[in-house]
Amino acid sequence: MLHHLSLGVRDLAASGAFYDAALGALGYRRVFEDDTAIGYGLVDDEDLLCLKLRDDAAAPGPGFHLAFSAPTRTAVQEFHRAALQAGGHDNGPAGLRPDYGDRYYAAFVIDPDGHRIEAVTKQVQP
């Protein structure tokens, strides 16, 4: 359904470092960049998430968050660790979330601009 999603950021270098670490833990990478944007995905020039430099960027309000697919529980744990180390804020450590299902394993962080993001897997193995 979605081709890509863009997030406005106030400091492209800081946000790029954050998303390099957090998304790198999930197997995603920079697929393009220029002076005002960085795209992340799996294939060159085919971004799934784009960071756009905007002086007036503001995160959406309560109720919005962006969930990234993780291949394993270990990747969810690494996402959380890497995101915090790269300047994110904890919004829920890696663990099972039985309210969302028996196998729903996720971690939640807030990026440097206040966007709420999650990594999730339903895989049983680590």
Q: How far is it, in rounded angstroms, from Cα 53 to Cα 38? A: 9
Residue ranges covered by each domain of the chain: 5-55+64-121
**What's the mean pLDDT when you consider all of the chain?**
96
- Reported as a single tens digit per residue, the pLDDT across 70-82 is 999 999 999 999 9
Q: What is the pLDDT of residue 99?
A: 94
CB atoms within 10 A of CB 93: 14
CA distances from 29 to 40, 45, 69, 98 (A): 5, 11, 14, 30
Q: Which option is the CATH number for 5-55+64-121: 2.40.30.10, 3.40.50.10490, 3.40.50.10170, 3.10.180.10?
A: 3.10.180.10
Average pLDDT estimate for 10-24? 98
Of the candidates 99, 61, 97, which has an alpha carbon nearest to the alpha carbon of residue 76? Answer: 97
37, with CB counted inside 10 A (0-12, 13-18, 19+), is middle
Confidence grade of residue 20 (pLDDT, cut at 50, 70, 90)? very high
Percent over 70 (pLDDT), the chain = 99
User: Is the model more confident about 53 or about 124?
Assistant: 53
pLDDT in tens, 37-46: 999 999 999 9
Residue 1 has pLDDT above 90, yes or no: no
- Whether residue 106 contacts residue 93, with contact meaning beta carbons closer than 8 Å, is answered with no
What residues contact 2, with CB distance under 8 A and at least 6 apart? Answer: none
Residue 125 predicted with pLDDT over 80: no
Structure tokens at 72: 């394993």
